Every structure is written in structure tokens, then in C-alpha cells.
Amino acid sequence: MRKLNIANLDTPIKKLEKLSDELGKNIYMKRDDFTGVEVSGNKIRKLEYVIPYALDNGYDTIITTGACQSNHARATAAICAMMDLECHLILRGEVKEYEGNLFLDDMLGANVNIIPPSSSREDAMEELKQELETQGKRVLIIPVGASNAIGSYGYINCYQEIVKQEVEMGIHFDSINLAIGSGGTYAGLWYANEEADTKNKIIGYSVDETAEVFKEDIIKIVNDIEDANHNFDTISINDSYIGLGYGKATDEELAFYIDFAKREGIILDPVYTGKAFRGLVTEIKNGHYADQENILFIHTGGQQGYTKEMRDRIQAILRKSERA
């Protein structure tokens, strides 16, 4: 399958020395937030496969969707600008501030359409597709997160990259851990792991839906990659750290992100990696990784998710800690 080469790959894997000492485990982080600036995060790996499919099949217009601060939408806008594709974004939610990814979407030339939180993104995309097709455009709808069989090849490739890095580093990861927001990243890693028959544990931490919902989505994507007799019992999704919901954070969660940034010099995002990494650390402390020594977490990007409201709350937490 044809692939564009836009992301800065291979992304590095770094050991988190201080946290490793504290937890008595070797904790590593793969910095997929280093894939670029406009295209930072995990979404570009998927789009490197989805966009060539669009170009090779004569599409000139892309429609995709996400939340108002969607990393996927911003990465799609950037790569469409690079490839001279018309880009339309259906973003669901309430716009409180013109900032972050929403600002970048506009700057990158995307046509931004905001729909209410209760609206169907799929219905809105289909309606827009029909309208654009009456104008003579050839339109491809890319699902949320580029989470389909084509997009998942980005993380089949990432898994192979990790295996190569294991050899170079002289270690073996007992588990690969990541946030799950639409299922495509997990599906690619899980499928590649099954094909390699290395029996690593692929552990996902949900940021919005139940484990059952995501397992269904992942099974569908994997079956679209290859319709074979897979044993899906090894799919492992933890949905205990969703908290207040997608894109929302408690003060306790924000305090964890602050502490980690001060300790390791790495910024987690409040939508995906923050929730997932906090879940991983908590699970390790609770003894649920007792049989593992080398643990890898994939930082999938998303620092633009810190809205003004969250930044104000973080400032208040920092001021409170300074006074304590």
C-alpha cells in the first residue's frame, strides 16, 4: 500500500528515569508527539496511508470530523494543504475560545463547520458530501481519527518500527500502552502484534467510550484489514480512567499532568495521553503490572488540547501549590 513520507520517523523511545526509579519498573515513552508540528501526533501516521488512497483514486476533496480541538482534523487540514486537496471539517461541540487546533484549522485553509454536541457527525458529513458532489467534486469521507483499515496501516508500520528499536536498544517491551479515542491506532498495533506472534500485551486506555464499544470498533477494523479467523480475546482495554468525559479534566488529573511535566520535562495532553498515562501509572501502583519489567507508553500528541479554561485552572493550581 502506497505511503507518503511526511512524518518525522522513526520517533524516539526514551526511558523515564525518575518515574522508573519510583515505580520499580522500566518505563519508556515513544514520542509520537515528535512526528511534526502541524502534523504532530499519531494521526499523521494514519493519514500517510489514507491520503495516497484518496489521490490514487481521483478524489479532490476530503471531509473528516472530530471535536472542536481535534488533533486529527488539524493534521488532515495540514496534509490536505500540502497535497492540494480541498478540506472540509465537521467539528462537533461548543466553541468557547478561538484557539488551539481550531485556530490552526483555519490557518491551514480548511473549511470549518461547527455542529452542536447532540448532532450526528456521520449524518453531517454525508449531507455535506452530497452537496459538494452536486458541484462536481469527488469527495472522500475519512472517519473520525482516520480509524479504518487503511489508516491502521500507519500503526502496523509503527509496530514494526518499535520491534526494530527493541533490537537496537537490546530490550523487549512486555507491553505497549496507549490512549484509545477511536480505535484505529490500537487496531494497527494489535493486528501487527498478532501477525508477528510475539505475544506482547497491547493495552489501551479509553478516553471516552466503554471497553465493549471500542472492542467492537477494533474487531471491525481488524476484519477489514484481513478477514481471517482472529482470536480477539487478547484485546485489552481499560475504561476506568475516562473521568468526567472526553476533553474534560478534574483538578486531580491536572495536578498529575503538572507533576509529571515538572518531573520528566514532558507535557501530556489533557484529552488522550494524560488520562491514559495516569491510568497506566495507577495500574502499576496497584500491582496490575507485576509480571512486567519493560513497559512502553506511546505519547500520541495533542498538547493543543489545553483550552483557556484548563490553562486558567492549571494556573490556579500552581499558585495554590506555591502558597502551600
pLDDT digits (tens, 9 = 90+) for 277-297: 999 999 999 999 999 999 999
Do residues 115 and 324 touch, judged by C-beta distance below 8 A? no
Q: Quick check: is 6 in a domain?
A: no
pLDDT at 324 over 70: no
pLDDT at 7 over 90: yes
- Predicted confidence at residue 323, as pLDDT, reads 79
Q: Quick check: is 188 in a domain?
A: yes
In the chain, beta strands by DSSP E: 13-15, 26-31, 61-67, 86-92, 111-115, 139-141, 175-180, 201-206, 236-238, 294-299
Domain range for 93: 43-146
- Predicted confidence at residue 199, as pLDDT, reads 76
Work out the percent of the chain whose per-residue pLDDT is above 90.
95
Q: Which of 93, 124, 146 is the last residue of a domain?
A: 146
Mean pLDDT (whole number) for 127-131:
98
Q: Report the domain count for the chain.
A: 2
Q: In the sheet where 294-299 sits, what is the strand order? A: 13-15, 26-31, 294-299, 175-180, 201-206, 236-238
pLDDT at 41 over 90: yes
Mean pLDDT (whole number) for 182-201:
94
Q: Quick check: is 4 in a domain?
A: no
Mean pLDDT (whole number) for 215-241:
96
For 13-32, how does the pLDDT look when each residue is reduced to its tens digit (9 = 90+)?
A: 999 999 999 999 999 999 99
- Predicted confidence at residue 236, as pLDDT, reads 98
- Predicted confidence at residue 205, as pLDDT, reads 98
- CATH assignment of the domain containing 138: 3.40.50.1100
Mean pLDDT (whole number) for 106-116:
98
Work out the percent of the chain whose per-residue pLDDT is above 70.
100
Catalytic residues: 70
Looking at the structure, tell me whether residues 151 and 140 fall in a common domain: no
Q: Which of 146, 167, 198 is the last residue of a domain?
A: 146
